[in-house]
Structure 1
Amino acid sequence: MTSPDDTSAGQLAQYAVQAPADYPVDFEADVVLRDGATARLRPITPSDADLLVEFYARVSEQSKYYRFFAPYPQLSDRDVARFTQVDYHDRLALIVTVGNEMIGVGRYERTGRRTAEVAFLIEDAHQGRGLGQLLLEHLAQAARENGITRFVAEVLPDNRKMITVFTEAGYKVAREFEDGVIMVEFDIAPTDTSFGVMQAREQRSEALSIARLLTPASVAVIGASRREGTIGNALLRNLRDSGFSGRMYAINADTSAEDFEGVPVYPTIRDVPDTVDLVIVAIRADKVADVVLDCAAKGVRGLVVVSSGFAEVGDEGRKLQRQLVGLARSYGMRVIGPNALGLINTAAGVSLNATLSPTMPSRGRVAFFCQSGALGVPILADMATRGVGLSSFVSAGNRADVSGNDLMQFWYSDEATEVVLLYLESLGNPRKFSRVARRLAGRKPVVALKSGRATQGVPVGQLVRRSKLPAATIDSMFRQSGLIGVDTTGELFDVAQLLAHQPLPKGRRVAIVSNSDALTLLALDTMAEVGLQVAGEPRNLSPDAAAADFGAALAEVFADERVHSVVVIYTPPVQSGGAEVAAVLAAAAAGSDKPVVSTFLASRSVPKELQVPDGDGGAARGSIPSFLNPQYAVGALAKATQYAEWRRRSDSGVPDLPDVNTSGAEDFVAEYLQRHPKGADLDDSDRQLLLSFYGISVLPAFPVLSADEAVARAADLGFEVILKATAEQWRMRPDLADIWRHIHDEDDMRAAWGEMTRTFGVASDPGRAQFVVQKMAPVGVPVVISALEDVSFGPVVTFGLSGVATDLLGDRSYRMPPLTTRDAAEMVREVRAAPLLYGYRGTDPADIAAIENLLHRVSRLTLDLEEVVKLDLRSILVAIQGATVLDAAIRIAPNEKPRQDTPVRRLT
């Protein structure tokens, strides 16, 4: 790769694409390669002619032969013009660049109405880094958007690498051998298999990109200083004192000394004689871009930018932050920060403290991602006092590049990590967060604290899309993803203490062994609040109970198969170390698969008496955590129990809906937006048509403006109708009857008309009430299903019972599509008014399966059609059998900000 030796921050404009007017910006992406390095993927432009020629000159003769099936030593001017001048619709080429060099290109050319031929050329030095697979994913996505559904390719038989790209993409590939060439053909519609392949590759590459940051062989501190009290001095000291096993370098223009406190010093990173893997940056924000270029020239893998003065200070800082991230990614580097506290890895053979915190945690099984730099230092100190060891820790500051999503990808396969903690101030990509978290939570518990839920506030410096959804959406998304949501940092550490040392509960029944009646009552009250059940009567011992008394009671509860978890409370009446009680508790719990929590001498850690020592001097699994009071102990136990139940449920899938016509719906939406370029609310006929593509029908309602019209329409329907006022200001008013039911004949209709027009005060102008006549639906429970396209979360489906009280109380459930069968079932059951659906006080139970079926269909519609920005089935009657949709509202509009979690791999 050509070094950026002659490039300065002021020359960064050379990386801007000189694009034609129809250049598709949405096709640009920063991507992570198979080895964890980053690159830039974008459409080709005419100004890339020289870049293409230079790239082609570096490609081997064999690779050229594989591409063109004949010797092709160089490109003619005509070739260059053809390859760089594309229409981005029928002919598209995507290139991958690192720095100012092209390293790969893929293209398709339409050969039929729905078919295109696809081809690739990868520079030999970069083959094996996954470029072909990435290019295929992005070309397929672009082709689908341009109406292409099938790719074809010609491949020479001995070009095994390219054949592998096609066959391992997750599509169903057909191959034929003809005239010495393998003909490859496959549909490019996304499938469960292709999604699975993409997500597995995404996890591996993003995990490796984080591993490169956490396991450096050498670290340099740019801005290192001898002066006490400076950031540069603290960083260098913490790095040195952590016992880092690799090489360390101090970078400072002041080279009057050969070393800073034993660490060799150099004026610039380029002057370091050895390779440098990780660089910690602590200099002025306006100087960072030049340092990035120096790091690129040195081959640095990643940056930790603790410097402030970026997006958190305003527009100029935001520009510097975008420049920092764009430049670093373009040269293959990941960035933690800016304005970050840093990262820690306690692994043996690494022992890295690249943070501003003087506390080096003990080695443990808990990993922690923290967005807040200010909270990072007290969090590390608090964990140390609780005896919770860490495997790794990252505080990302402004989170301009590396995010919690990246860390979760790493911890998914990190054998040193058994429990993951997240302190989140914002969610940059909620859809990807939910998907990645759900996958991780299926393997390891993830405990998450999200600040700012009530206000949906975003800290200064974190550039994210602001959601307009209620705070309950985040709580629902956590539940859907299997995360253990908590409300305070204290609760975060309480749950971490339990999960790091004890097994997961196998059920909700809890036994209590205690020598304090008062604390037992607190435990029982808390259990009732959090839904845990008492296994038999609490074993209440006397205040002066001896170790033998505890031993006998503990032997009983551990032997009782009805007991799933155990709470032990020990508070001696006089000052006592409790060593004998601790010994019998540890002995009774040893080898048991039942989790044990305690309030032991009011300790808030893992007391030494209850520790099972590990090889690093910490507390191993089987150690018994202690909490300040039983409320905290039971609260943590409840969280672990809920997570264990989520894990035990069979992981359901997204149901197949064979009668869905996605292509018809997509064509309808495209045609509708041609008629309404700015978007509009659909009228009744368009609503019926769009919903019919997803197997949803709405009971027709017919507007009427007079009693005579109402009578005529009712007669056409054969009576047995309703008269309904649909004007928004009168719908669902508890003081006004907006629906008149059981209209059997003309007299009933005229009576209904007269009474309702008087009630609403519209006798002289009935049009204000927007009356409709509609056939009677079977009697049932009224419910509402809605979907909204949120700028941050993408599509979100909501469910609730219909009524003003439900609206006022916010009794709604929320989920992000796609919905599994379990998601839909939980949506129906978790609303507080759900008993009304199950035969409340002798009423007929509603058809729950019909509700879940509608939820799946709405989920599928809103997932397929991001231009459906709002869908509201605002009146559904669910009978004993079946559900009838009485009213719907839909709005279609251009999606100005595409969804962030796209079907292709990209950094966001």
Structure 2
Amino acid sequence: MADRLKAFFAPRSLAVVGASDNAYWGRNAITNLKIIDFDGQVVPVNPKRKTVLGIECVTSLRDLSKPVDLVYVAAPIDAVSSVLSDAGHVGIRNAVIISAGFGEAGVEGQRLQASLKDDAQEKGITILGPNCPGFINFTDGVSAYGQEIPSSMPKGSVGIILQSGALTSVILKLARTHAVGLSKVVCMGNEAIVRAVDVLEYMIADEATQVIAMFLEQIRDGDHFLQLARRALEAGKAIVVFKVGRTPEGQRAALAHTGAVAGDDAVVEAALRQSGVVRVHSLEELLITAGLLSRVPPLKGARMAVITGSGGACDIIADRASDEGLQLPSFSPGTLAELKAYLPKFATVQNPLDTAAVDTVRDTGTAATAMDVVAEIVSRDPNFDFVLYNGFNVVPQVAGSAEDQEKHTARIAHVGHMLRQSEKPIIPVSLSCMEVGPFASSLYDANDLFMLGGIEFGLKAIGHAVRWNQARTKVHTAETPRKTVPLTVLASRKGAWSEFEGRQLLDANDVPLVPATLVQTVDEAVKASESLGYPVVLKICSAAIAHKSDIGGVALNLRSADEVRTAFASVEQAGRREAGDKIDGVLVSPMRPRGVELFAGVTVDPSFGPTLAVGLGGVWIEVLRDVSLRVLPVSEADVVEMLSSLRARPLLDGARGGPKVDIAKVAQVICKIAHASLSIGPNLQAFEVNPIWALDDRVEALDVLVVTD
């Protein structure tokens, strides 16, 4: 599909069905081609007119002497089928369909869309849409797009993929406002044939696109998406995603709009993070982050120097830097001395740095301001990875006198040269996201400067850029999780397994287990207890009972034969009340001393597949809800990161005199548990070991629940 889309998005001839001098979609589709300077063939199709906007029409696609590369279908829904038939008849192989009323419109619309898809595939026609305003290819100067394209759109290396056509106009205006240069913009519509993952794959391969920004209501093919995300990370291309539907209300809205089921947001968050995708939470954050990643060299560390002319701005930036995990080291002794000699005596020389109105007391004798000189001094300091420079707010929004224009033009040219010559990134930032005006923008564009849009979005973007580069560095050194061969015999059963069967599966995957003996009689229970050593635990064993303790099917800390006899009768009776004759017996295990109880569970997310959750075990899993998530497979290093991210992390180190655990050993065992769950194959529904008992370097699974379908 990626190869097919390369031709799809760069047609040299294009027909517009429904072309018009006054109808919104049919008019814009033609005028946009003029705005974007398309130099190929344009054929309006309208049976009622001889010309549209001065271009000669044909009455039908069947009147074409040869097929065009792409047809833009701005026709009513009841005419789409016949247009597609005409396209197939003359050999057109690519179509954009804007018509609504298909899959997003209920059962009948879904039936129509399925028929449209079958018809297109039979004719060999690739469709973008339906319910789709189209695409814009700024790189090659071509569009098949029915909304208005703003004038003076900046070209660049940011590709946009949107699962909302109506937001495209907003995205284009934001990109123009913040000088974010675009390569391609693709609206997905209902994704009858071309899916968002197909366009993502195309943009990863596209040489003109270096950063991919996505607005997603649903990730339909999660496994493919994550594979592509890792491929992009390895290629050094950032993916920035604004995924909506993270609240119950948002999920219902996404369901109504796309006909797709919104996945669990916690899994989405984990899946995106582990694959190096930058997740944002607003359109402004999406565009500004993508712009930064496309225009600034990789930020190779989190050590940031800040130069501003405002003490209040220093405070705001310091707070936001802490939120983003950015460091604010002190100036090196050499830089400190140089700054003290240059700045006014009353300046407080520290990072973040308020330059104390240095521009009013120093004349540099060049086009540069004194703040620019300060930025250059700080950029040489080895204590920092990059410099955040808030010295551009003095550039007026509108052009002033000829003298002022000349002064500012020379100054920004000097700054552009300084930024290009600097050994480390110097990142300009405005005080607010609405501060940059047309005159300032023209100077930034002329000198290839990217201005971060305000402190709030600017610091978020920088934090994202630092974390993305860390993920990019990590991907080249990460260990590869071992592959799994499904256990098809065990996985063929349906429903919950007994604990004894679950233990067999864990044992086959080398997961350390607390010893256990399955018994049928009270005498066998006493004998097993004496063999294992007191104190012991008795548990009913039945596939029909998922939560044994809830029905009285567990007895703990039994210290004698008499206690075992009494408990056996109680546990067995509780089990038979719940499951009748569907019990395998009673499991006898030694009672372990106080340790740390952990939890490892695997569920199957509808988008991303088997997903591992790790947290504190026992009753705490539901009380604290302190879990870390990763889509499988995972490595031991991944699990160490998961354990380290828990709020309860200090408990693993023996906080307040508690028991300690060997985190590396726990991670090793949890990896084996995850591997055991994957061995079940596609029939897996749920797999849970709770608790995992850990004390020093001893780690054992105490209980297991397996459910297959």
- State TM-score, norm by structure 2: 0.83
Contact conserved, 1:605 with 1:626, CA < 8 A, in 2? Answer: no
Distance 1:327 1:728, change over 3 A: closer
Quote the Cα distance in structure 2 between the aligned partners of 1:767 and 1:859. 32
Q: Secondary structure of the equivalent of 1:695?
A: coil
Contact conserved, 1:289 with 1:323, CA < 8 A, in 2? Answer: no
1:609-663 residue CA offsets vs partner (Å, 9 max, x unmatched)? 888989xx6774xx241322x2322111101000010011134243347xx7x36
Residues 392-401 or 836-845, more deviating: 836-845
**Which residue does the alignment assign to 1:640?**
465
1:746-804 residue CA offsets vs partner (Å, 9 max, x unmatched)? 57869x969x98xxxx9996977998642134753211111122333322222112144
Give runs of aligned pairs for residues 801-840 of structure 1, distance below 5 A: 801-840=616-655
Give runs of aligned pairs for residues 152-163 of structure 1, distance below 5 A: none
**Which residue does the alignment assign to 2:244?**
451
1:600 to 430, 444, 451: 430
**Which residue does the alignment assign to 1:48?**
none
**Which residue does the alignment assign to 2:41?**
247
Residues 874-883 or 442-451, more deviating: 874-883
Q: Secondary structure of the equivalent of 2:256?
A: coil
- Runs of 5+ unmatched residues, structure 2: 331-349, 361-367, 398-403, 579-584
Quote the Cα distance in structure 2 between the aligned partners of 1:574 and 1:237. 35
Question: What amino acid sits opposite 1:471 in the alignment?
Answer: D
Q: Does 1:867 align with 2:683?
A: yes
**Which residue does the alignment assign to 1:491?**
285
Quote the Cα distance in structure 2 between the aligned partners of 1:420 and 1:573. 32
Contact conserved, 2:131 with 2:190, CA < 8 A, in 1? Answer: yes
Q: CA deviation at 1:692?
A: 3.3
Quote the Cα distance in structure 2 between the aligned partners of 1:300 and 1:606. 45
2:138 to 346, 359, 384: 346
Q: CA deviation at 1:889?
A: 0.6
Residues 692-701 or 335-344, more deviating: 692-701
Contact conserved, 2:158 with 2:291, CA < 8 A, in 1? Answer: no
Distance 1:400 1:594, change over 3 A: farther
Q: CA deviation at 1:510?
A: 0.8
Q: CA deviation at 1:507?
A: 0.7
Distance 1:332 1:832, change over 3 A: farther
Quote the Cα distance in structure 2 between the aligned partners of 1:575 and 1:607. 7
Residues 334-343 or 819-828, more deviating: 819-828
Distance 1:764 1:241, change over 3 A: closer
**Which residue does the alignment assign to 1:59?**
none
Quote the Cα distance in structure 1 between the aligned partners of 2:89 and 2:216. 34
**Which residue does the alignment assign to 1:216?**
11
1:505-531 residue CA offsets vs partner (Å, 9 max, x unmatched)? 111111111221111111111111121
Give runs of aligned pairs for residues 888-903 of structure 1, distance below 5 A: 888-893=704-709
**Which residue does the alignment assign to 1:332?**
124
**Which residue does the alignment assign to 2:375?**
554
Quote the Cα distance in structure 2 between the aligned partners of 1:780 and 1:387. 57
**Which residue does the alignment assign to 1:363?**
155
1:349-406 residue CA offsets vs partner (Å, 9 max, x unmatched)? x333533233263311110001101111111111111111210010111122212211
Q: CA deviation at 1:451?
A: 0.8
Q: Secondary structure of the equivalent of 1:473?
A: helix
Quote the Cα distance in structure 2 between the aligned partners of 1:515 and 1:329. 61
Q: CA deviation at 1:607?
A: 7.2
1:689-710 residue CA offsets vs partner (Å, 9 max, x unmatched)? 3333323354354689999886
1:861-895 residue CA offsets vs partner (Å, 9 max, x unmatched)? 444411121111121112322420000011121xx
**Which residue does the alignment assign to 1:57?**
none
Q: Secondary structure of the equivalent of 1:655?
A: coil
**Which residue does the alignment assign to 1:421?**
213
Quote the Cα distance in structure 1 between the aligned partners of 2:384 and 2:516. 57
Q: Does 1:857 align with 2:650?
A: no
Question: What amino acid sits opposite 1:597 in the alignment?
Answer: I
Q: Secondary structure of the equivalent of 1:873?
A: strand
Q: Does 1:530 align with 2:324?
A: yes
Question: What amino acid sits opposite 1:686 in the alignment?
Answer: E
Distance 1:771 1:240, change over 3 A: same
**Which residue does the alignment assign to 1:666?**
488
Q: Does 1:680 align with 2:501?
A: no
Distance 1:681 1:626, change over 3 A: closer
Q: Does 1:387 align with 2:147?
A: no
Q: Does 1:877 align with 2:688?
A: no
- Runs of 5+ unmatched residues, structure 1: 1-205, 674-678, 894-908
**Which residue does the alignment assign to 1:782?**
597
Question: What amino acid sits opposite 2:457 in the alignment?
Answer: Y
Residues 238-247 or 635-644, more deviating: 238-247
Contact conserved, 1:610 with 1:624, CA < 8 A, in 2? Answer: no
Q: CA deviation at 1:215?
A: 0.6
**Which residue does the alignment assign to 2:389?**
568
Quote the Cα distance in structure 2 between the aligned partners of 1:328 and 1:822. 47
Question: What amino acid sits opposite 1:407 in the alignment?
Answer: V
Q: Secondary structure of the equivalent of 1:478?
A: helix
Q: Secondary structure of the equivalent of 1:433?
A: helix
Quote the Cα distance in structure 1 between the aligned partners of 2:394 and 2:16. 55
Question: What amino acid sits opposite 1:233 in the alignment?
Answer: R
Distance 1:725 1:780, change over 3 A: farther
Q: CA deviation at 1:419?
A: 1.0
Number of residue-to-residue matches in the alignment: 657
Q: Does 1:654 align with 2:480?
A: yes
**Which residue does the alignment assign to 1:627?**
453
Distance 1:584 1:608, change over 3 A: farther
Q: CA deviation at 1:729?
A: 7.0
Quote the Cα distance in structure 2 between the aligned partners of 1:866 and 1:275. 45
Q: Secondary structure of the equivalent of 1:325?
A: helix
1:278 to 57, 66, 70: 70
Q: CA deviation at 1:581?
A: 7.0
Give runs of aligned pairs for residues 198-217 of structure 1, distance below 5 A: 206-217=1-12
1:719 to 524, 534, 552: 534
Contact conserved, 2:158 with 2:181, CA < 8 A, in 1? Answer: yes
Quote the Cα distance in structure 2 between the aligned partners of 1:594 and 1:823. 31
Quote the Cα distance in structure 2 between the aligned partners of 1:732 and 1:627. 55
Quote the Cα distance in structure 1 between the aligned partners of 2:158 and 2:662. 45
Contact conserved, 1:567 with 1:634, CA < 8 A, in 2? Answer: no
Quote the Cα distance in structure 2 between the aligned partners of 1:558 and 1:638. 19
Quote the Cα distance in structure 2 between the aligned partners of 1:859 and 1:828. 15
**Which residue does the alignment assign to 2:115?**
323
Quote the Cα distance in structure 2 between the aligned partners of 1:607 and 1:641. 28
Give the percent of matched residue pairs that are identical in Structure 1 and Structure 2: 27
Contact conserved, 2:396 with 2:439, CA < 8 A, in 1? Answer: no
**Which residue does the alignment assign to 1:267?**
59
Question: What amino acid sits opposite 1:556 in the alignment?
Answer: I
Q: CA deviation at 1:487?
A: 0.8
Quote the Cα distance in structure 1 between the aligned partners of 2:589 and 2:699. 16
Give runs of aligned pairs for residues 2-401 of structure 1, distance below 5 A: 206-226=1-21, 228-255=22-49, 257=50, 259-348=51-140, 350-359=141-150, 361-401=153-193
Residues 570-579 or 450-459, more deviating: 570-579
Question: What amino acid sits opposite 1:669 in the alignment?
Answer: A
Contact conserved, 1:788 with 1:796, CA < 8 A, in 2? Answer: yes
Contact conserved, 2:72 with 2:144, CA < 8 A, in 1? Answer: no
